Each structure stands twice: as C-alpha cells, then as structure tokens.
Chains A and B, each alone.
Chain A
Amino acid sequence: MKDRLTEELVAMRAAKELKPGDYCNLGFGIPELCASCVADGVVVQSEVGVLGYGPLYDDDEVDQMNPDYIDAGVHFFRYLPGMSFFDLQVSFAMIRSGRLISILGGLQVSEKGDIAVHNKGEEKISYRIGGSVDLAWGAKRLIVAMLHNTKAGVPKVVRDLTIPATARGCVDLIITDLAVMEVTGKGLVLKEVAPGWTPEEVIAETDAGLIVAADVREMEF
C-alpha cells in the first residue's frame, strides 16, 4: 500500500487556492482544517453569522474565550479587525450571492461536477443537509476537499452519483489525498498527483473518466 496524504496536507493544498482578499466559507470535515493554514488577508465566513473572524482558541484557553464568539461548528474564535456579525438571513444572502469561495467535504463527486455531501443511511430518517445545499449552489467557486476513497476503498470520484445529490454541476475543483482534479467542459482533468503517485495509479483508484493534463505535476503544499 502506497502512502496517501494526511487530511492536514489535503487541507493545506486546498488552502493554497485562497488568495488575500478572497472571501471563503469552510465546511465541516477536512475543510475546517484549512482555517489554520489560510493566507493572511483571506476573509473567512461562518454561516452562523460572522465574516472575517480570527483564529480559533484551543480548548485550554477557556478563560480568554468570548461566549458570544462561536462559529457554525461550535468553536470559539478571536476578534479580528474588520470582523462583522449578522443574522442568518444576511448570512445566506451572502452565501448565495456568488461572492464566497466555498470549500466543502464530500461523500461523492461526479465528473460532471455533481456533489453529494450527505446521505440517507439505512436507519436514518433525515438528510443531514444543513448549509451545504446553499453553499454549493451559491459559491463563486466550489472546491471539494475529501479523501479519494471510502474506508472500504471504494472510489468517491465517480462517473455518476450513486447517492442523492446535494447540488448538480457546481463543483470546480476536487482536492483529495491522491490528486487535484478540475471539472471542465471536456471532462475531469487530472492536474496534480500526490507525491510518489503516477497518473495511472490515481486513475486506477477513480471511477470517473480522467483526462491527464499535459503538464500534470506533483502536488505542493
């Protein structure tokens, strides 16, 4: 078994897509890890109602925490100059406005840019939809940061979704522990591979058609 990237490295690679001045929202899972490695000047939004918030506190810094400064995932954040607060109506107007770059986790992504972020399990009676439908639909650019395969080894990058879609035709870029792939009009283009992996090896782990870019290269962080 070849080594794959850690979740932290996937997050670091995803964070490189964000430039100073960009507004972004980081979803649950691997995207949350991007928060600690985004460049200065990237403005992070949390859908619970804050734009431009500061770094998160560690659990042992409880005495410094402000109980009114809590993000969507119930983490306590610091003040940052330029930060603003708002209610959920303003927050979702922001999310749907096409002004935010959104990084989401995913269960499956298709070569057409369809994404499934949640599933209805055998005994589950409800979909875990949350803000993902709005975030995927409204993003200026939708980046998916996830593992390439399930724990059982099943490819998560597929021709067609086999589980219910969160949004269709919205994904721009897929970053996994094996590769970086771009959704284009011609199909899914393999642009980067994890260190030590060849395009052929990545293709073998993928259920979608992959077009290998002429300048395919190794991922950098």
Chain B
Amino acid sequence: MDKVTTATEAISMVQDGALVAINFWGPGSPKYLWQALVDHTAKDLSIYTNNFWAMPDDIKAIVGPDVTSIADKTIRYITGFADVKPGSSATCDKIIQRVHEGSLKFESLSHGIFMDKLYAGAMRLGGFYSPIGVGTVIEEGKEKRVINGAEYLFESPIIPDVGLVKATTADTLGNLVYTGTARGANPVIAMASKYTIAEVFDIVKPEELDPERIGTPGIFIDKIVKIPEDDLQSRQRRMELVKLRIEYAKALEEQKSQGDAT
C-alpha cells in the first residue's frame, strides 16, 4: 500500500461530476494539488470551499490558479465566503453570466456552517439543526424548528467525493503534522471525504514523526504528494510567494472599491 505518488497521478482518479472539497484559507491551502485539478480533464465538478477569492487575471499568471480557474469545468460552487466582483476579471464576469443563465449554481454559507456540514459528513450524521442565520438570508429555503423555545435551521451534511488538504509534513503512512495557522479546514476535510489527497513539503519515515503531534491520522489519507522543490508552493520557494502576495495586497489596496465591510 504505497500512498506516495505524484499530483497528476493522485488527481487522475477525480471523475466527472465529483464533489471536491478544498481549504482555501491561510497557509494551509493545497495550491499545488489545485493546479493539478485545474489541469485535469474531469468536468461538471462541484467545488466546496471556505473562501472564494477571485484574483485578477494578471496576478493569477504569477502566483498560480485561484478558485475561479476551474470555473469552466464546474457546475456548482458552495462557499463560506465569496467575493465575486463584476469587472474584476473576464473569468469573474463569465461566472456571473453563467449563474444568471443557470448553468452554474452558487451557494453561500457562513464559515462556521461550512465547517458544521463537513463535521456532520465526517460523523455520517443525517443532518443537524443550527441556530446560525435565523432571521437572515441563510434561512432561505431551510426547514425551521423550535427546540427549547429557540429557532433552529436544518442543515444537511457534506460528504465530498474528493478532499484536497495541505500539511507541513507527512510520513509514508499518511500521518500529517500541521504548523501555525495552516490547519484550517484540512483535518475535517480529510475526515469527511471519501478519498483524500494530501500535499506536503516533506515526506518522512514513520519513526520520524512524534505520535503526539499528529494532526490527521493516516487512515484518512489515501494519497500523499510532495510539492517539488522547484515549485512556487514548496518550502524552499514559499517566501517568494509571500513577497508576491504582499505586492498583490498592495495592488488590491490601490484598487480598493466596494462599500462592503466583512
């Protein structure tokens, strides 16, 4: 049972119509696997992601694909946070047009509900009642129930066909160690998904990881991919990416628009 493979090989089993979950927040975003998914042929995908941050096309060309890069092969986005700015890129405008035409579904959750649904999926629950969003747009179309005098909304679980996660280090059995704010939704995506691929900076022998420090036990990980050292996402080159990101943030600041505060 060798779990260690390449991104192309691991992603090749993603089929048409798959529901793919990915953590797009903080340093724990599996961008190397995402690139492989964008390059893969599977279509009619549903993407379950905590953040939908659309980058301008020129910046994508430098730092790699963003969440919109897969839009042409996607029929549904379910997001915890989404910022779809008209006019920000040709990709964004096309997404907006497709949503209005009905060929792409776009669903907004909150960050907390995004996690709840994955947890319910991981625990194989039939659903759950949540107090979050009562009296707001979140309750649209949801069953409401009064429990102990308070109103709750019914939420359904999510069991992704494929989960893409990122950790700092894996051993060859798939045990994962996370660092800093790179945990994100990765542990729960790994538990909820039917097939989970992990990208890591380093792969070590089992005896090299401290069992007390394992963030995700290897049973949840089906494939392990090491980010090549010459890739922008690698440990060796990630500070370059940080610098690019700072430049990107500066550019964003300059074109600061919208009245929304989030």
B32 contacts the other chain (Cβ, under 8 Å)?
no
Q: Looking at the assembled complex, report how far the CB atom of A118 sits from the nearest CB atom of chain B, in whole angstroms.
A: 6
Question: Do residues A70 and B188 form an inter-chain contact, with CB atoms below 8 A?
Answer: no
- Within 8 Å by CB of B99, from A66, A114, A125, lies A125
Question: Do residues A119 and B188 form an inter-chain contact, with CB atoms below 8 A?
Answer: no
B187 contacts the other chain (Cβ, under 8 Å)?
yes
Question: Do residues A125 and B181 form an inter-chain contact, with CB atoms below 8 A?
Answer: no
B149 contacts the other chain (Cβ, under 8 Å)?
no
Please name all residues of chain A whose beta carbon is closer than 8 Å to the beta carbon of B112 when the two chains form the complex: 92, 95-96, 131, 133-134
For A124, the closest partner residue in chain B by CB is: B84
Question: Do residues A126 and B261 form an inter-chain contact, with CB atoms below 8 A?
Answer: no
Please name all residues of chain A whose beta carbon is closer than 8 Å to the beta carbon of B181 when the two chains form the complex: 46, 48-50, 68-71, 85
User: Which residues of chain A from 40 to 95 have any CB-CB distance to chain B below 8 Å in the complex?
Assistant: 46-50, 59, 62, 65-72, 74, 76, 85-89, 92, 95
Please name all residues of chain A whose beta carbon is closer than 8 Å to the beta carbon of B243 when the two chains form the complex: 62
A150 contacts the other chain (Cβ, under 8 Å)?
yes
**Interface of chain A, main secondary structure:** loop
Chain B window 132-155, contacts with chain A (Cβ cutoff 8 Å), 1 for yes, 0 for no: 111111100000000000000000
Q: Looking at the assembled complex, report how far the CB atom of A64 sits from the nearest CB atom of chain B, in whole angstroms.
A: 11
Chain B window 183-223, contacts with chain A (Cβ cutoff 8 Å), 1 for yes, 0 for no: 11111100000000000000000000000000100000000
Question: Do residues A133 and B138 form an inter-chain contact, with CB atoms below 8 A?
Answer: yes
Residue from the set A66, A96, A131 with the largest chain B CB neighbour count within 10 Å: A131
Chain B residues with a Cβ closer than 8 Å to the other chain, count: 63
B34 contacts the other chain (Cβ, under 8 Å)?
no
User: Which residues of chain A from 133 to 148 have any CB-CB distance to chain B below 8 Å in the complex?
Assistant: 133-134, 137, 146
For A131, the closest partner residue in chain B by CB is: B111
Chain B window 167-180, contacts with chain A (Cβ cutoff 8 Å), 1 for yes, 0 for no: 01000000000111
For B185, the closest partner residue in chain A by CB is: A88
Chain B window 102-116, contacts with chain A (Cβ cutoff 8 Å), 1 for yes, 0 for no: 000010111111011
Q: Looking at the assembled complex, report how far the CB atom of A163 sits from the nearest CB atom of chain B, in whole angstroms.
A: 10
Question: Do residues A89 and B180 form an inter-chain contact, with CB atoms below 8 A?
Answer: no
Number of A-B contacts (CB under 8 A): 182
- Within 8 Å by CB of B183, from A49, A123, A124, lies A49
A151-B182 Cα distance, complex, nearest whole Å: 37
A199 contacts the other chain (Cβ, under 8 Å)?
no
Interface stretch among B11-19, B57-65, B74-82, B156-164? Answer: B74-82
Question: Do residues A74 and B111 form an inter-chain contact, with CB atoms below 8 A?
Answer: no
Question: Do residues B81 and A130 form an inter-chain contact, with CB atoms below 8 A?
Answer: yes
Question: Do residues B261 and A106 form an inter-chain contact, with CB atoms below 8 A?
Answer: yes
Contacts A48-B26, A68-B180, A168-B136 given; does A29 touch B108 at CB 8 Å: no
A48-B50 Cα distance, complex, nearest whole Å: 11
A47-B26 Cα distance, complex, nearest whole Å: 10
Residues of B within 8 A of A (CB): 25-27, 50-52, 79-86, 95-96, 99-100, 106, 108-113, 115-116, 119, 131-138, 168, 178-188, 215, 238-239, 241-243, 245-246, 249-250, 258-262
